[in-house]
Structure formats: structure tokens, C-alpha cells
């Protein structure tokens, strides 16, 4: 089983920060370092940092004021030794050359622990921060993302692993036969390369994807090595897991080359009833107004005008409907939820699964999902930090270890090693070898 | 006196890495951390990391393989406590929103020690890495840079210092009256803002500039707080220093709001003759071929076809001629240098001043420049690391301290405090106040 933690200084629950002793800022480096060290104490595979490119003051408090993710995970790399470090960077508002360099650099600086969460930016307001006439359509964003990721991976292969010679006797610094341009010419990008950086410890930093739309799942099947799934129940999780794994062979990939980690917010009590009370205490801080606003953001539809105790409106799916929204709306239809029910589910964990229970029952459920082909592990969303995460690490993790489901020590040093992912071959080098062999 | 150090893992001299015991990679984090700690032991104001956006294998070895600067200085922030951390980022191939966020984030993560070295990228080869039809002309690059810096500084003022409330009792997370968009609409950029980040410890990270062309000097006079000058002798340094300071009042600035730090490569010997021998030993590693290549890069003209012992060719200045090249060509004309002389001067320190001497004579010269209105301090370019920098810190710095020219302890905690620069007022907040006052 693989475990990640979704790091938000104010807690994953939007009102988590209001509990006594909870972290009250996502810009508190001491708190964030503490979370990273706790995750490492719990032998987690990775920690994960989200991002967005436009501010809305009514969004989740950890989105309102936060560090830039690449610099944050670099700072956390210096405070840890083993744990993988995932940062979100958008393909819609960036340049592949910059993104390839930054992640390669962090992979070097962290000793092979970097991961890139590829997003296309759902929030149309980002366009106004980047001199753009408008936010690209969903399909266009995914077409661009596909090419963007290809270019980044190509740039990561510009240097063979042993290209840097630095022989003081001869003065040869780099073996020029082992450094190659990419010469990419595509629909969206023309990028020559190579980077002015050696190949990184992991060869390629790990690629994470979370999009749940059909285009997002296709991008994941083609390029992702970790998928953060937003699912609400075991059947949906199993369907989604199997569907995603089934897409891999068409891209020449084996099922084990992609790890599916559903997001889950564990609420731990001495009884399930107590856990539900803890959740209710946090939910009580939400007003219908701000909860409906958060749900509107997740659904991509303004639902603030609908009656709170009426049925969830029958909102149409479009090609651009986010995976979160698809799953939530399907859940609402299936279970006949009211808008109040939906916001109680959604506002807690931004559309992720909320699991109330005891240490034993939470471990039971995680085991059931893991052994039941619904998950390769989980992305843990503690409702608040540090106490709720400490509880998970100190109580649930040992129970998972006792059951033989989770590691008791890191066996490797890189994130790829933690995840059981192979180090990618160097495709530019392989292409050169193939050409040379054909010429013989 | 203010001191910076130009960090290059292989040493600032292009052949420094070939000496016994010298660092042989600019991607050795342990070495780079050691340099940062040595600089801090020497009470330096800042360390500085250069950058470029296209690889040439025949360039300086520390340019051939290096970390991405923003992630590198973030990693070095975690290994140090006082020293300022300057990273180079180009305005020609970036987005102000990304750059503003990254530096603000590093300023937070380092406790107020970030500095941005604004460059427009001289190397036209960068265009091929960024899907651009060509590299913009010099004047266009500087016009864009001016607007870019304005946007970044505006984004840094989006939050008042006390806008984050995070009151668990009331649930008020941010005071919305203290967060403002920028709403910039200019020739090159439309950026709404604000950032999703609180104002950083320094208010604005420190702005560094190094351009020596007329447009570069104008940009510096308007926006820079530190200038790295490339000068070869006292008269030229004094002229350049006075000319730059004289430009400030036109921009409503006082002379002390900009610190001029000429770059200098100190070569320390027990005698000046011994120092010259040390330099000659490194110069001997350069072949005319690679030295002429390095000089061609600096001059922006291919000079490899000219006779080595003939006069320096009379290359024309254009609007786009770099400051380095201007000073070098002026020096060559004034002193009747041959091409071999020029490459001996230029290849050593990339057009910066090389100062061979004893601890006493080097301290004398630095004092003469500092008290003679030619410098507010120096950007030190040790020829190799770690030993040559250790020598400077352990021998020259104490001599400067003994003379009362340099601090013996950090008095403040931020780079602005080290440099004696005021924390900038929040212009967006001031504009709002002015509007409110006018309405009364």
C-alpha cells in the first residue's frame, strides 16, 4: 500500500483551522516542515501540494494564502530525507522548458524525490493574470497538456546519466556525444533543448495526475505514474480503478506502472459516532452561504440560488466537467441527496471521500479498498494539522503495518523506489543507439 | 562596505575546477551549501546565482550544468540563517505573475532574504527553447523588462502586511479590505492579481540589475537596488558609479537607494608575483580556441578568425552591445591590447576585474575603490571553490573588518537590513488611502 498526504496548513477541512491547537496558516513553514517530518515518521511515500493561479477570497483558506509549490517542496526537501515531494504546476500557463528545469533541479536537490502533479487549471480566472484573452477550452487545455508533458519528458532525456565527465587531467568537462537536443516541433510548442543540467536521480521526476474527466483519464493513462482519484464509495472507486488500469495497455504500459491513490479524509474517533461528532463540529463552522460557494467552485456551476433542502439540481455534464463534479453529481442522483446533503459531503473534503470511524474500522476499510482492487494506496487528507495527522500516523499507520499492508521502513531512497516504479530509460539515447545499430 | 559572492561550483575562473581540491561541479549541493555557509561566516550581505536559458557546451563549465536558480537559492535558504540569496530570472521568457509569486515565496521561506537579479537574456539561442520565432531586439527586451518589473512590484503590494487575520473565534480568515487587485493593462502585459500570498517579510524582495548598456543603466536607475558593475579599473569604475547615481534623482530616488557592487576576482598570494603565478597556472589551462570562444560570447561578436597577436578588432558598438563588451572594448582601445591580452583578461573572470595581490594590497585596493566613490562594496568572484573563497573570508574579510570597513556581525535579519535599504511602502494601499482622503 502507498500513502501520500495532502498538505494544507489550515487543514483539509475548510474549517479545520478553527479547532483549538490547529494550524491557522498555509504559510507557516515551521508547521509545514512538521507535517513533512510526521509523514516521514509514518513512512509515507509522498507529500503533495496543490496550486491555483487566481485568488478567490471565498475559497478554501489554504488556497487563499499559500506558498508557490516548487519553492515550498524545495524547502521541505531540506527538512526531510526520504519522503517524496509532489508539487502542482499547470501546463496551461507555463513553459515546458521552465517546468522541466525546475523539477529536474528539485529532483537533484532532494536526491530523487520530486514529483510533478500535472494540471490544466480549471479556474478560468487565471487567464486574467497571464495576459490571455480568455481561458482555453477544456479539450484544448488537454491537447496542450499532452504535448507539454511529452516535451518535458524529452528534455529530461537530453543528457545521458554519465555525460558529465569533469576530468581535471584532460580538461574534458562534458562528453558531447552524450548530450542531445530534443528538437521538438509540435502544434503548441517548439523546443530545441537540451537543458543545461545533468539527468536527475530519478531519470524523470514522477508524474502525478488527478483529472477525472475523460480527457483527464486519457492523459493519465498515457503519462501519469500516480493518480489521485476523487471517489466517494467502494463501487465507484473499483469501477474507476479498473477502467483506468484497463486503458494502460493501449499506451504500451502495464497496470503496475500507474498507482491509483484515492483521496480520503479520515476522521478518527473512539467510536464511529464520536468521529461523526468531530466532523459535525467542523461542519457547524460552515454557513450555508460559504458551503454553497465552495460546492459551486467544485461543480463549476453556481448553485447558490437553489433551495437548500430541495433536490440537487440536474446540472448537465459537459466535456469540461471536472471529475470531482461528475462523481458528486452521480452520487447525488444515485442517493437522492438534497443540496444540504451535498454540501455536507463536499465542503468537508472538496469532493473527496470522508471516512469516519475508529482506528480499527478505518484500517478495515482501507484494507478492503486496497485488497479489493479499488486502490493501490491512499492520498490522506487530514482535516486539520498537526493533531489529526499525528493521530493517523501514530494509530492507523501502525495498524496497517501490523496487518502487513504498509512498510515499516523505507527500502529505497527515491520516490520511484518507494512507489515501485522503474527508472525510465533515456529515449533520446535509445533512439541514437537504434539509429547506429540500423546503420551497421 | 557590502559584499556579495558570485556562486559557481566549478569556480568563477573557467579552469578553476582543474586545480587540486577544487569543486568540479555546479550541481554539487554539498559544495554549494558549504560556499553559502562560508559566505555567512564572512558576514557577506548576499550570495548570487547567475542563469541562462540555452546550453552551449563550450561555455563556462558552471553554465553548462547547473541547478535552476530559484530552487537552488531556496535550498540554500534552508542551510543558512542570515545571508541574502540572489537568483537570476529573465523577463524576456517569463511571466510576471510566476516571477512575483516565486520570489515572494522565497522571501517568506527565507525570512526576508530573497533578491531577484533582473536580466533580459542576451543569448538569442534561448528563443528556440520557448516557442518563439526569434529573440526580441535589445530595445524591445528592455521596454518589456521595465513593464515586467513594474507588474511584479505591483503584485508584491496586493496584500497589506496585516491582511491575514485567521481569527478562529469569528472565522474571519482574511480582511478583504486589505487585499487589492493590481488591474495592470500595459503594452506587454495584462495582469489582474492579487497573488494568493501574504506580503513578504521584505515587502519587496531586493531588485538586482547588472546590465551595462544605456538601456540597462536606465532600467537600473529606475528600479534596481543593487547593481553588479563590470569594470576593469578605478577611473572607469568611478565614472560608472557617479553616472549611475546621478541618474537616480530623475526617478525620485536618492543615491543611497542603489548600491553599486563591482565584480572582482581576487587572486591572493603571499606576494603579488605569487598571485600572478596562481592566475597564470589557471590561464595555462585555457587554449586559445576555447578562450576566444568565451570572449566571443562575452563580446557578442565571433572573433575566432582574427590573428591572436594582432590588435583587438575595431568592433562597432550597437544599441544592444552588452555593458561587459563596452567596457572591454574601451579598455582594449585605451591600452592597445592584442586579442591574446584581451582573452587573458576576459576569459579569467568573464569581463570582470581580476585583482592579483596580497591580503594587504587587495584590502588596500578595495578600500581605495570604496572610499573613492567607485563602489558601495563588491561582488566577489572567487576563481575556484572552496579554498580560494575560504582564503578571502579568513584573510581579507578580517583585514577589512580591522579597518572598520566591514561589519563584524549581522545587525539585522533581512537582506534589506544588511544593505541598509528601506522596506518599500505598499503603493496600492497608499493609493487607496490617498483616494479616501481626497473624498473626505
What span, in angstroms and rounded, lies between the C-alpha atoms of A35 and A17? 15
Asked if A67's CB is within 8 angstroms of B105's CB, the reply is yes
Any B CB within 8 A of A77 CB: yes
What residues of B are in contact with residue A128 (Cβ under 8 Å)?
190-192
DSSP lists the bridge partners of residue B379 as B4, B263
Nearest by CB to residue A193, choosing from B19, B25, B129, is B129
Question: Angle, to 10 degrees, between the axis of helix B138-156 and the axis of helix B427-439?
Answer: 70
pLDDT at residue A231, as a whole number: 87
| Stronger pLDDT, B341 or A216, i.e. the higher one | A216
What residues of B are in contact with residue A285 (Cβ under 8 Å)?
171
Any B CB within 8 A of A192 CB: yes
Q: By CA distance, what is B167's nearest residue in A? A: A18
Phi, psi dihedral angles at A164 (to 5 degrees): -80, 115
What residues of A are in contact with residue B179 (Cβ under 8 Å)?
55, 57
Q: By CA distance, what is A30's nearest residue in B? A: B109
Any A CB within 8 A of B317 CB: no
What span, in angstroms and rounded, lies between the C-alpha atoms of A112 and A100? 14
pLDDT at residue B351, as a whole number: 77
Question: Angle, to 10 degrees, between the axis of helix B96-109 and the axis of helix A69-77?
Answer: 30
What the block records as the C-alpha cell of A89 is: 504546476
SS3 assignment for B239-281: HHHHHHHHHHHHHCCCHHHCEEEEEEEEEECCCHHHHHHHHHH
Any A CB within 8 A of B183 CB: no
Domains of chain B: 2-271+353-439 (3.20.20.30)
| Stronger pLDDT, B408 or A298, i.e. the higher one | B408
Nearest by CB to residue A109, choosing from B54, B71, B196, is B71
With a cut of 90, say whether residue A193 has pLDDT above it: yes
What the block records as the C-alpha cell of B21 is: 581540491
Say if CB B113 and CB B83 are below 8 A apart.
yes
Phi, psi dihedral angles at A339 (to 5 degrees): -65, -35
Any B CB within 8 A of A196 CB: yes
Q: By CA distance, what is B63's nearest residue in A? A: A196
Say if CB B104 and CB B157 are below 8 A apart.
no
pLDDT at residue A326, as a whole number: 75
Asked if A17's CB is within 8 angstroms of B164's CB, the reply is no
What the block records as the C-alpha cell of A202 is: 530519478
- Give me chain A's average pLDDT, please: 93
Among positive and negative, which fits the CA dihedral A308, A314, A315, A317?
positive
What span, in angstroms and rounded, lies between the C-alpha atoms of A321 and A316? 9
Any A CB within 8 A of B130 CB: yes
* CA-based nearest distance A173→chain B, Å: 7
| Stronger pLDDT, A426 or A306, i.e. the higher one | A426
Give the residue-averaged pLDDT of A256-266.
Answer: 97
**H helices of B300-411, where?**
323-335, 339-349, 359-371, 387-391, 397-402
Nearest by CB to residue B57, choosing from A19, A174, A195, is A174
ipTM confidence score: 0.95
pLDDT at residue A321, as a whole number: 63
DSSP lists the bridge partners of residue A357 as A268
Any A CB within 8 A of B165 CB: no
The radius of gyration of chain B's CA atoms, rounded to the nearest angstrom, is 22
Q: What is the pLDDT along chain B (440 residues), one digit of tens a residue?
A: 999 999 999 999 999 999 998 999 999 999 999 999 999 999 999 999 999 999 999 899 999 999 999 999 999 999 999 999 999 999 999 999 999 999 999 999 999 999 999 999 989 999 999 999 999 999 999 999 999 999 999 999 999 999 999 999 999 999 999 999 999 999 999 999 999 999 999 999 999 998 778 888 999 999 999 999 888 889 989 999 999 999 999 999 999 999 999 999 999 999 999 999 999 999 999 887 777 887 787 777 888 888 888 888 887 776 556 666 777 788 788 888 888 888 877 778 877 899 999 999 999 999 999 999 999 999 999 999 999 999 999 999 999 999 999 999 999 999 999 999 999 999 999 999 999 998 87
Any A CB within 8 A of B65 CB: yes
Asked if A104's CB is within 8 angstroms of B128's CB, the reply is no
pLDDT at residue A272, as a whole number: 96
Any B CB within 8 A of A109 CB: yes
pLDDT grade for A347, boundaries at 50, 70 and 90: confident
What span, in angstroms and rounded, lies between the C-alpha atoms of A356 and A347? 15
Q: By CA distance, what is B198's nearest residue in A? A: A65
What residues of B are in contact with residue A106 (Cβ under 8 Å)?
71
pLDDT in tens, A98-122: 999 999 999 999 999 999 999 999 8
Place of cell 597556472: B281
With a cut of 70, say whether residue A299 has pLDDT above it: yes
Place of cell 541562462: B52
Closest residue by Cα to residue A197 from B326, B397, B427, B51:
B51
Asked if B79's CB is within 8 angstroms of A75's CB, the reply is no
pLDDT at residue B178, as a whole number: 98
What span, in angstroms and rounded, lies between the C-alpha atoms of B146 and B52? 19
pLDDT in tens, A153-192: 999 999 999 999 999 999 999 999 999 999 999 999 999 9
- Strands B190-191 and B184-185 come out as antiparallel
Nearest by CB to residue A64, choosing from B77, B128, B173, is B173
What span, in angstroms and rounded, lies between the C-alpha atoms of A387 and A396? 13
Asked if B193's CB is within 8 angstroms of A129's CB, the reply is yes
Q: Provide the 10 A C-beta neighbour count for residue B351.
A: 26
Q: By CA distance, what is B22's nearest residue in A? A: A168
What span, in angstroms and rounded, lies between the C-alpha atoms of B141 and A178? 34
* CA-based nearest distance B384→chain A, Å: 13
Asked if A29's CB is within 8 angstroms of B109's CB, the reply is yes
Q: By CA distance, what is A79's nearest residue in B? A: B78
Looking only at Cα atoms, what is the longest distance across chain A? 80
Give the mutation candidate from B131, B156, B201, B293 for the A interface (greatest A CB count, under 10 A). Answer: B131
Burial class of residue B410, CB neighbours in 10 A (0-12, 13-18, 19+): middle
pLDDT in tens, A49-91: 999 999 999 899 999 999 999 999 999 999 999 999 999 999 9
* CA-based nearest distance B4→chain A, Å: 23
- Summary count for chain A: helices (H), strands (E): 16, 11
Any A CB within 8 A of B431 CB: no
What span, in angstroms and rounded, lies between the C-alpha atoms of B77 and B246? 35
Asked if A70's CB is within 8 angstroms of B70's CB, the reply is yes
* CA-based nearest distance B194→chain A, Å: 7
Asked if B71's CB is within 8 angstroms of A75's CB, the reply is no
Per-state percent for chain B, helix, strand, coil, to nearest 5 = 45, 15, 40
Nearest by CB to residue B171, choosing from A67, A129, A285, is A285
Q: Residues 272 to 311 of A: which have CB under 8 A from any B CB?
A: 285
Burial class of residue A133, CB neighbours in 10 A (0-12, 13-18, 19+): exposed
Place of cell 536527475: A200
Asked if B97's CB is within 8 angstroms of A71's CB, the reply is no
With a cut of 70, say whether residue A290 has pLDDT above it: yes
What span, in angstroms and rounded, lies between the C-alpha atoms of B62 and B33? 16
What span, in angstroms and rounded, lies between the C-alpha atoms of A120 and A144? 9
pLDDT at residue A322, as a whole number: 66
With a cut of 70, say whether residue A433 has pLDDT above it: yes
pLDDT at residue A439, as a whole number: 85
With a cut of 80, say whether residue A328 has pLDDT above it: no
Any B CB within 8 A of A68 CB: yes
Give the residue-averaged pLDDT of A370-395.
Answer: 98
Asked if A192's CB is within 8 angstroms of B27's CB, the reply is no
Asked if B67's CB is within 8 angstroms of A196's CB, the reply is no
What residues of A are in contact with residue B54 (Cβ under 8 Å)?
192, 196
DSSP lists the bridge partners of residue B151 as none
pLDDT at residue A319, as a whole number: 59
Residue A128: in which H helix or E strand, if any? none
Residue A288 neighbours by CB under 8 Å, 6+ apart: A308, A340, A343
The single-letter DSSP state of residue A423 is P
Any A CB within 8 A of B57 CB: yes
Amino acid at each position: 500500500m502507498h500513502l501520500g498526504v495532502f498538505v494544507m496548513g489550515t487543514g483539509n477541512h475548510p474549517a479545520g483551522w478553527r479547532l483549538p491547537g490547529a494550524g491557522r496558516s498555509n504559510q507557516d513553514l515551521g508547521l509545514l516542515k512538521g507535517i513533512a517530518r510526521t509523514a516521514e515518521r509514518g513512512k509515507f511515500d509522498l507529500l503533495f501540494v496543490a496550486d491555483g493561479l487566481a485568488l478567490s477570497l471565498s475559497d478554501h483558506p489554504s488556497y487563499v494564502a499559500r506558498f508557490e509549490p516548487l519553492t515550498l517542496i524545495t524547502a521541505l526537501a531540506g527538512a526531510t530525507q526520504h519522503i517524496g515531494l509532489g508539487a502542482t504546476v499547470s501546463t496551461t500557463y507555463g513553459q515546458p522548458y521552465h517546468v522541466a528545469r525546475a523539477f529536474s533541479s528539485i529532483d537533484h536537490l532532494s536526491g530523487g524525490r520530486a514529483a510533478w502533479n500535472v494540471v490544466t487549471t480549471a479556474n478560468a480566472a487565471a487567464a486574467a493574470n497571464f495576459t490571455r484573452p480568455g481561458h482555453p477550452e477544456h479539450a484544448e487545455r488537454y491537447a496542450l497538456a499532452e504535448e507539454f508533458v511529452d516535451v518535458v519528458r524529452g528534455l529530461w532525456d537530453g543528457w545521458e546519466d554519465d555525460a558529465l565527465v569533469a576530468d581535471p587531467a584532460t580538461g574534458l568537462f562534458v562528453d558531447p556525444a552524450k548530450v542531445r537536443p530534443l528538437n521538438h516541433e509540435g502544434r503548441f510548442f517548439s523546443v530545441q533543448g537540451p537543458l543545461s543540467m545533468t539527468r536527475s536521480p530519478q531519470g524523470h521526476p514522477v508524474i502525478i495526475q488527478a483529472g477525472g474527466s475523460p480527457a483527464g483519464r486519457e492523459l493519465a493513462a498515457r503519462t501519469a505514474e500516480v493518480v489521485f482519484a476523487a471517489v466517494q464509495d467502494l463501487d465507484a472507486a473499483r469501477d474507476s480503478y479498473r477502467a483506468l488500469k484497463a486503458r494502460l495497455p493501449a499506451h504500451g504500459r502495464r497496470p503496475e506502472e500507474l498507482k491509483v491513490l484515492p483521496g480520503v479524509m479520515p476522521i478518527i474517533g473512539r467510536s464511529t459516532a464520536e468521529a461523526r461528532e468531530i466532523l459535525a463540529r467542523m461542519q457547524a463552522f460552515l454557513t450555508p452561504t460559504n458551503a454553497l460557494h465552495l460546492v459551486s467552485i467544485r461543480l463549476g456551476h453556481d448553485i447558490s440560488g437553489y433551495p437548500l433542502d430541495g433536490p440537487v439540481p440536474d446540472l448537465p455534464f459537459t466535456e469540461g466537467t471536472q471529475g470531482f463534479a461528475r462523481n458528486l453529481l452521480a452520487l447525488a442522483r444515485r442517493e437522492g441527496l438534497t443540496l444540504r446533503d451535498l454540501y455536507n459531503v463536499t465542503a468537508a473534503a472538496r469532493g473527496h471521500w470522508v471516512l469516519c470511524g475508529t482506528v480499527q474500522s478505518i484500517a478495515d476499510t482501507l484494507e478492503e479498498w486496497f485488497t479489493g482492487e479499488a486502490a493501490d494506496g491512499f492520498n490522506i487528507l487530514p482535516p486539520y494539522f498537526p493533531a489529526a495527522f499525528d493521530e493517523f500516523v501514530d494509530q492507523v499507520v501502525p495498524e496497517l503495518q501490523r496487518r502487513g499492508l504498509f512498510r515499516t521502513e523505507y527500502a529505497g531512497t527515491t520516490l520511484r523506489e518507494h512507489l515501485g516504479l522503474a527508472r525510465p530509460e533515456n529515449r533520446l539515447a535509445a533512439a541514437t543507439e537504434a539509429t547506429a545499430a540500423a546503420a551497421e
